[in-house]
Structure 1
């Protein structure tokens, strides 16, 4: 692929996180020409079902019409499974995160949640190509369910994966931990290092979270790094549009 690209990705998208994102999205829209990939949670923490949020659904309708991409980001973005039984699982599900919804699911349970998400997107006329597991944590059962889901791709912090074979495509992602000032400082250092080391990457992903928007330092950084990458010539694309170009160029090669 001739041109280096970037994707701007909003995680944990729901009616309750939209007020965090709205000023930032308006600032991005003011730049012009930057499509956004929205990771949509159908019922955030079981307190925000999209079925009961007509105003926010209209926001998503408008974003699709603008050329943005909506991606399925779990169903609840919360780990609701029985308590972990091993030290490793306890660490992953109680220390690392409480939101690894698909970490402990078997194939049947994962398939049922994927089907519910696909049904929701279909009902509202939203094209669906990708799935991103909350906290990027997927059980073996989830991977098997994804392989038979008919979806095009999934991802983790450093790769996109073409389904059904989980073909890895290097796509470095910048992500912050912004809950405290020291975390924001470390995140800045790590992101700048990643940018230096990823200059030759065909695709660079900016992965934003609602908490990033609640602090001026992190919010300003994301806007500035977006503008910097655009000045450097990176082409802004949604994930699916970049993957279409990737597959097209691979077929030609």
Structure 2
């Protein structure tokens, strides 16, 4: 494998951040902190599956604010992170909402519903005084209604597994993601192969992302993979940055 230049970077994105998932992530975060030079983007869900109200948990909010103080980023990641819309009516929608994921909250809803949830999330961040640049839809799935809503709201970016998108124009920038499917043993075995191949394919790109999920932390194979991947990238000279860092560096800092 060729040696990366000092300009190459990686982004660690922790998905599904909520009080309910913190115990999964805590040992991983402690290990990253021990490395001393890993910044992370925390994808925060306001009310995870209607069962984990992030903004009603003072201890959890204090922890998130401590992450901001360390230079990490907080990102709005859906609102409920579950698909409560009426049952799918087409084969395509059935595949996307029942086979691909049950958590595509922002895939089936219309523009008004999307805007209402996004505005509620924006207000929650504003009440805490948290900077908010990005929105990432659960499972990276956005329907037309969500895309239209994002064009009229003060987000700087959104993303899917392969790209960052500047808002409101949806200008695409290729920044691919390593991600695991950890729910079954055969999926974990396949994920290691796919990610090893993808990491080799991305070795010349300026930036790669890692999309981590709470379930990754529950299995030795996926958890150990992320530990080693990040440590290897640091050893190879990659810099760690957040999504906001990337936009400041590559697109330009937001003007107020």
TM-score, structure 1 as length reference = 0.96
**Equivalent residues in 2 for 1:63-102 (5 A)?**
63-102=67-106
| Structure 1 Cα separation of the partners of residues 51 and 211 of structure 2 | 24
- Does residue 162 of structure 2 align to residue 133 of structure 1? no
Counterpart in 2 of 1:161?
165
Counterpart in 1 of 2:56?
52
Give the CA RMSD over aligned residues: 1.3
Counterpart in 2 of 1:38?
42
| Structure 2 Cα separation of the partners of residues 238 and 7 of structure 1 | 6
Deviation at 1:51?
2.9
Deviation at 1:231?
1.2
Q: Would the aligned equivalents of 1:6 and 1:204 in 2 still touch at CA under 8 Å?
A: yes
| Structure 2 Cα separation of the partners of residues 13 and 102 of structure 1 | 17
**Equivalent residues in 2 for 1:112-191 (5 A)?**
112-191=116-195
Counterpart in 2 of 1:240?
244
Q: Would the aligned equivalents of 2:6 and 2:237 in 1 still touch at CA under 8 Å?
A: no
Q: Which residue, out of 180, 186, 205, partners 2:209?
A: 205
* Secondary structure of residue in 2 paired with 1:101: coil
| Structure 2 Cα separation of the partners of residues 18 and 208 of structure 1 | 13
| Structure 1 Cα separation of the partners of residues 137 and 102 of structure 2 | 13
Aligned length: 249
Q: Would the aligned equivalents of 1:172 and 1:201 in 2 still touch at CA under 8 Å?
A: no
Counterpart in 1 of 2:198?
194
| Structure 1 Cα separation of the partners of residues 91 and 222 of structure 2 | 34
- Does residue 22 of structure 2 align to residue 18 of structure 1? yes
| Structure 1 Cα separation of the partners of residues 207 and 114 of structure 2 | 29
For structure 2, the residue ranges without an aligned partner over 5 or more in a row are none
Deviation at 1:2?
6.9
TM-score, structure 2 as length reference = 0.95
Deviation at 1:50?
1.7
Q: Structure 1 pair 80/237, CA: closer, same or farther in 2 (3 Å)?
A: same
